[in-house]
Amino acid sequence: MSKKAKIRKLEKKVAKLKARVREARTHTHAVSPLAPKDGFPHLPVIGGARFSAVKAGVRYPGRVDVMLAELDPGTAVAGVFTRSATRSAPVLDCQAKLGTDQKAGAAFIVNSGNSNAFTGTNGVKAVEAITEEVARITGVPQNRVYSASTGVIGEPLPFERITAKVEELHGTMSADAIELAARAIMTTDTYPKGAGAEIKIGGKTVRIAGIAKGSGMIAPDMATMLVYIFTDADVEQSLLQRLLSDLTDETFNNITVDSDTSTSDSLLLAATGASGVKITEDTTAFIAALRGVMLDLAHQVVRDGEGATKFVEIRVTGAAADADARRHAMAIANSPLVKTAIAGEDPNWGRVVMAIGKSGAAADRDKLSIHFGDILVASQGWVSPSYREDEGAAYMKNDELVIAVDLGLGKGAATVWTCDLTHAYIQINADYRS
């Protein structure tokens, strides 16, 4: 047999076996190897917030796919959303509603299976119908009902399947059903994501509980990062919004799986005030706890990145400005060559240099230094004399990696988080026909 024929034969075998692996995987829903070891955490119960979820069959029968959260009168709501120019109808609706009278209650309704994005005027009609029905059943004013949708795009959302379930949702609300809500918003996520905190402020307890979904800008057609965080702290709306925007810049805006931005990304933060603890700009314990919950959820999204096998922190210091540091960090985190090198457990610092060079932010080749973990790999424009390739290669075998770059120019710093780029990413996004 000729060499070419042999290769063709082997390739066919590989393709067949791969299909079998894929099929087996589809049925076992293999959880990401980077998922939190202890499963979904035990989250604190938030006074003034109640949850429920149902099977509405939006796209697939037999799985919970719609969640409702109801919030007591007096709840402040803040939000941040995708900056995409092609954002979905629910996102535009939420943005228009933010900042309205906080004395009324509020409701969040979210479905998976269909993202109601790029659905023309039908998308607007669906949002209107859903939020109207939630308002009617719950008594919350419609301009305080926030909706979100995640799943396939470009297909009309069968909103009647959702409106038909609002009464059941409202009738089964419970203060401790947040994990079920986290499951209802999953699409290709391999595990539900939750994080919480309890802190003492002036002798009283303040609680925070959040859920998220997302694993890249994925699947089956276009997924989304959705995040809902609840606290019983008493926070004035404009302060809540300011805190949320600032902390998002330090957390969710510093993660990237594949550099692709969804049309539906939404993050809502509700403060019910049930704890009776008034928060000001100086309540640093609360701000730190909220930041911790947000960072935890952000990391969980990266840990569920499609095909991810490595969780990678990119730390950039010594930049001329913070914005420069972030630009370098994102260039490294998004570089396909850096990400494939990490997948291959290759301490390929040359590709890190390349990414810094292309980022567009200030850098001086002969002043920068690179660490992989504690190992000094390169400095002063060349590989470090102390560096040994086998040490670098051994370090790359870890599941969690830190790549640190010091530019030697100034005090600008930034940290971002990402995952590697593997065959499984290609498989999920190319091999499966959506």
Site for its own copies in 381-400 (CB under 8 A): 381-383
Q: Which range, of 126-134, 163-171, 273-281, 342-350, touches its own copies by CB under 8 A? A: 342-350
Decide: is 364 part of the binding site for its own copies (CB under 8 A): yes
Decide: is 414 part of the binding site for its own copies (CB under 8 A): no
Q: Report CA 391 to chain centroid distance, whole Å.
A: 33
Instruction: Tell me if 109 sits within 8 A of 139, measured CB to CB.
Output: no
From candidates 147, 163, 231, 359, binder to its own copies by CB under 8 A: 359
Q: How far apart are CA 350 and CA 36, in angstroms?
A: 32
From candidates 34, 212, 353, 405, binder to its own copies by CB under 8 A: 353
Nearer to its own copies, 280 or 397 (CB): 397
Point out the catalytic residue in the list 224, 248, 251, 283. Answer: 224
Q: Does the annotation flag 263 for ligand binding?
A: no
Decide: is 323 part of the binding site for its own copies (CB under 8 A): no
CB of 236 to its own copies, least distance (A): 33
Decide: is 335 part of the binding site for its own copies (CB under 8 A): yes
Decide: is 354 part of the binding site for its own copies (CB under 8 A): yes
- Is residue 138 annotated as a catalytic residue, yes or no? no
User: In angstroms, what CA-CA distances link 27 with 177, 377, 434?
Assistant: 26, 43, 17
CB of 290 to its own copies, least distance (A): 27
Cβ neighbours of 343 (radius 10 Å): 20
Decide: is 154 part of the binding site for its own copies (CB under 8 A): yes
Ramachandran region, residue 163 (left: φ > 0; alpha: ψ -120 to 50; beta: rest): alpha
Instruction: Tell me if 319 sits within 8 A of 325, measured CB to CB.
Output: yes
Q: Does the annotation flag 306 for ligand binding?
A: yes
Q: How far apart are CA 296 and CA 311, in angstroms?
A: 13
Q: Does the annotation flag 213 for ligand binding?
A: yes
Q: Report CA 87 to chain centroid distance, whole Å.
A: 17
Closest CA to 162 of 186, 135, 121, 133: 133
Cβ neighbours of 424 (radius 10 Å): 20
Decide: is 172 part of the binding site for its own copies (CB under 8 A): no
Decide: is 222 part of the binding site for its own copies (CB under 8 A): yes
Nearer to its own copies, 105 or 123 (CB): 123
Decide: is 1 part of the binding site for its own copies (CB under 8 A): no
Closest CA to 349 of 369, 328, 325, 324: 369
Kindly tell me the burial class for residue 138, based on how many C-beta atoms sit within 10 Å of its own C-beta (0-12, 13-18, 19 or more): buried
Q: Which range, of 48-56, 103-111, 113-121, 203-211, touches its own copies by CB under 8 A? A: 113-121
Buried b (16+ CB within 10 A) or exposed e, 243-253: bbeebbeebbb
From candidates 32, 300, 418, 422, binder to its own copies by CB under 8 A: 422
From candidates 172, 190, 245, 429, binder to its own copies by CB under 8 A: 429
Binding residues for substrate: 187, 213, 224, 306, 429, 434
